[in-house]
């Protein structure tokens, strides 16, 4: 059973029912022993009556007189008592009529016991010595057994009721007890890199929950501080790097312009300029990602038809694919309005296509499918490359993650998909990668919600950080 609430309810119901069951068992044993004690008392009283009736000179009486006197005494209670009198080692001296000539069995060494007489049933027996006679008196236990059976039936019914009610009480109680824990979980789940300032509400009362919340909030304080530091550090380093990088680039360009370099030195400077451009782009990308994480990038959303948007970028996508010797097939279904900022979505699609082109075999087919329906706009780009495993697909959107990179291959920084995810999430959508099911290759798809009706373009400003791909 996975849920703590269910476990608590079950434990509560079981412990309450088991406690009651134990009480019932103890009650049963006590009741039985009380009734038996009463029966023993009854037998003893009957014996006293017999003894009084026989008188002190009973040993001198003939068996006929003994028989007659006892019958006179016991006949009135023949339903209640079963009596036999022995005179060891001789035969039995007296049987009450209700015994039908069957003796009450003797249990050696015991004076009170339960025994079963065929045709009579269970008896509670008391054995009394009246030398030279052994008087055995039995009382039926039928009434006692009936009473105890009724007790057991009532107890079982009460246990069932107890199990049900304590189960319900357990559910309600565990819900009440776990409510603060659920609230803590919900708040802790909301606290992400973009709202690190949120804290869990401290419960009233200085109990264990209070301590837990205090500790969690302290942990979030520390996390927030380190996040801030890390973000500030990467922003500052990025800014600090830009100036010396620009200077290096200016110097290198001046060397080229002056034209006094030998051919091989000129080539080296060109390589340096290429690398500088790459580093610059990487810095821009890192700055963008860290701002996007704190919602520091504001979008200028405009409602538009995805089909128009895709038509406008399709020629460029096709040229890019042809240039790399691959084929692009584009499919579009449905219509609707989606709130987007065109340049960012253009960047996402170009990043995804660039990745697909990089892994596709020569003349490989890349399929771009766009579907708009009531659930939103979904775009997928599927290639015929080697694809990725499920586990790699989980990690592929993390920063600097690159798989199966061959030496000398076209160098990427491993930030493209991280940026795609940031852009899509800024648009309120989601993106994922999955292995193709209809052949080798990878399918990366993103989904955006439909625009709320009458969305006005926002006038917030976007910091233009990234050069277009």
Closest distance of CB 259 from ligand ATP, Å: 33
Distance CA 401, CA 388 (A): 12
- Which of ligand ATP, Mg ion, none sits in contact with 126, Cβ below 5 to 8 A by type? none
Closer to Mg ion by Cβ: residue 180 or 416: 416
- What the block records as the tokens of 168 is 């319900």
Residue 355 binding ligand ATP, by CB under 6 A: yes
451: three-class secondary structure by DSSP? coil
Closest distance of CB 187 from ligand ATP, Å: 32
Q: First-to-last CA distance in the chain?
A: 52
- Which of ligand ATP, Mg ion, none sits in contact with 359, Cβ below 5 to 8 A by type? ligand ATP
Q: Which residues contact 196 (CB under 8 A, 6 or more apart)?
A: 220, 223, 224, 227, 228
Closer to Mg ion by Cβ: residue 46 or 285: 285
Q: What residues numbered 426-455 form the site for ligand ATP, per CB under 6 A?
A: 442
Distance CA 107, CA 346 (A): 102
Binding residues for Mg ion, how many (CB under 5 A)? 3
Exposed e or buried b per residue across 247-264, where buried means at least 16 C-beta atoms within 10 angstroms of its C-beta: eebeebeebeeeeeeeee
Distance CA 402, CA 395 (A): 9
151: three-class secondary structure by DSSP? helix
Residue 396 binding ligand ATP, by CB under 6 A: yes
Residue 356 binding ligand ATP, by CB under 6 A: yes
* β-pairing verdict for 112-117 and 121-130: antiparallel
Task: Tell me the chain's radius of gyration from C-alpha atoms.
Answer: 48
Q: What residues numbered 398-427 form the site for ligand ATP, per CB under 6 A?
A: 401-404, 412-418
Closer to ligand ATP by Cβ: residue 43 or 418: 418
Closer to Mg ion by Cβ: residue 43 or 422: 422
* β-pairing verdict for 82-86 and 133-140: antiparallel
Helix orientation angle between 208-258 and 142-190, rounded to the nearest 10 degrees: 30
Closer to Mg ion by Cβ: residue 13 or 388: 388
Closer to Mg ion by Cβ: residue 39 or 352: 352
Residue 388 binding ligand ATP, by CB under 6 A: yes
Q: What mask of x and - would describe binding to ligand ATP in positions 314 to 353, judged by CB under 6 A?
A: -------------------------------------x--
DSSP E strands in 62-206: the ranges are: 82-86, 92-95, 112-117, 121-130, 133-140
Distance CA 420, CA 350 (A): 10
Distance CA 177, CA 381 (A): 49
Residue 416 binding Mg ion, by CB under 5 A: yes
Q: Which of 385, 423, 431, 451 binds ligand ATP (CB under 6 A)?
A: 385
Distance CA 293, CA 288 (A): 9
Q: Which residues contact 254 (CB under 8 A, 6 or more apart)?
A: none
Residue with tokens 């929950």: 209
Q: Which of 355, 360, 370, 418 binds Mg ion (CB under 5 A)?
A: 355
Part of the chain binding Mg ion (CB under 5 A), chosen from 130-138, 220-228, 399-407, 410-418? 410-418
- Which of Mg ion, ligand ATP, none sits in contact with 442, Cβ below 5 to 8 A by type? ligand ATP
Q: Which of 368, 383, 424, 451 binds ligand ATP (CB under 6 A)?
A: 383
DSSP-H helix ranges across 399-462: 416-426
- Which of Mg ion, ligand ATP, none sits in contact with 384, Cβ below 5 to 8 A by type? none
Part of the chain binding Mg ion (CB under 5 A), chosen from 50-58, 86-94, 411-419, 429-437? 411-419
Closer to ligand ATP by Cβ: residue 243 or 406: 406
Residues forming contacts to Mg ion in the complex (CB under 5 A) are: 355, 412, 416
Residues forming contacts to ligand ATP in the complex (CB under 6 A) are: 351, 355-356, 359, 383, 385, 387-388, 396, 401-404, 412-418, 442
């Amino acid at each position: 059973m996975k849920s703590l609430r269910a476990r608590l309810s079950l434990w509560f119901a079981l412990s309450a029912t088991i406690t009651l069951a134990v009480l019932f068992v103890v009650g049963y044993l006590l009741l039985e022993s009380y009734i038996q004690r009463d029966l023993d008392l009854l037998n003893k009283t009957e014996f006293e009556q017999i003894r009084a009736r026989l008188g002190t000179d009973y040993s001198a009486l003939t068996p006929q007189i003994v028989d007659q006197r006892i019958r006179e005494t016991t006949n009135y209670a023949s339903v209640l008592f079963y009596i036999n009198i022995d005179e060891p080692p001789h035969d039995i001296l007296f049987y009450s009529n209700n015994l039908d000539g069957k003796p009450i069995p003797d249990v050696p060494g015991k004076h009170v016991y339960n025994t079963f007489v065929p045709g009579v049933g269970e008896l509670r027996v008391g054995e009394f010595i009246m030398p030279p006679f052994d008087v055995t008196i039995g009382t039926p236990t039928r009434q006692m057994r009936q009473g105890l059976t009724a007790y057991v039936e009532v107890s079982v019914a009460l246990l069932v009721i107890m199990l049900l009610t304590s189960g319900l009480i357990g559910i309600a109680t565990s819900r009440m007890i776990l409510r603060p824990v659920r609230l803590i979980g919900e708040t802790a789940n909301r606290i992400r890199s973009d709202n690190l300032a949120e804290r869990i509400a401290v419960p009233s009362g200085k109990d264990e929950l209070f301590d837990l919340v205090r500790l969690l909030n302290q942990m979030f304080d520390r996390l927030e501080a380190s996040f801030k530091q890390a973000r500030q550090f990467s922003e500052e380093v990025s800014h600090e790097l830009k100036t010396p990088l620009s200077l290096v680039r200016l110097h290198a360009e001046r060397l080229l312009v002056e034209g006094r370099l030998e051919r091989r030195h000129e080539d080296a400077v060109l390589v340096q300029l290429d690398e500088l451009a790459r580093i610059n782009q990487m810095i821009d990308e890192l700055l963008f990602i860290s701002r996007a994480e704190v919602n520091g990038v504001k979008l200028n959303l405009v409602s538009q038809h995805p089909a128009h948007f895709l038509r406008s970028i399709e020629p460029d996508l096709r040229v890019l694919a042809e240039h790399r010797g691959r084929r692009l097939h584009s499919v579009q279904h449905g219509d609707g309005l989606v709130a987007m900022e065109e340049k960012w979505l253009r960047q996402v699609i170009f990043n995804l296509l660039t990745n697909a082109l990089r892994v596709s075999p020569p003349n490989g087919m890349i399929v771009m499918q766009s579907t708009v329906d009531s659930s939103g706009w979904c775009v997928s780009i599927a290639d015929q490359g080697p694809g990725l495993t499920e586990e790699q697909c989980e990690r592929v959107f993390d920063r600097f993650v690159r798989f199966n990179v061959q030496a000398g291959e076209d160098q990427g920084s491993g930030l493209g998909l991280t940026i795609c995810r940031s852009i899509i999430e800024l648009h309120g959508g989601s993106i994922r990668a999955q292995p193709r099911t209809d052949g080798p290759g990878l399918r990366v798809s993103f989904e955006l919600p439909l625009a709320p009706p009458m969305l006005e373009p926002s006038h917030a400003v976007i910091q233009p950080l990234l050069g277009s791909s």
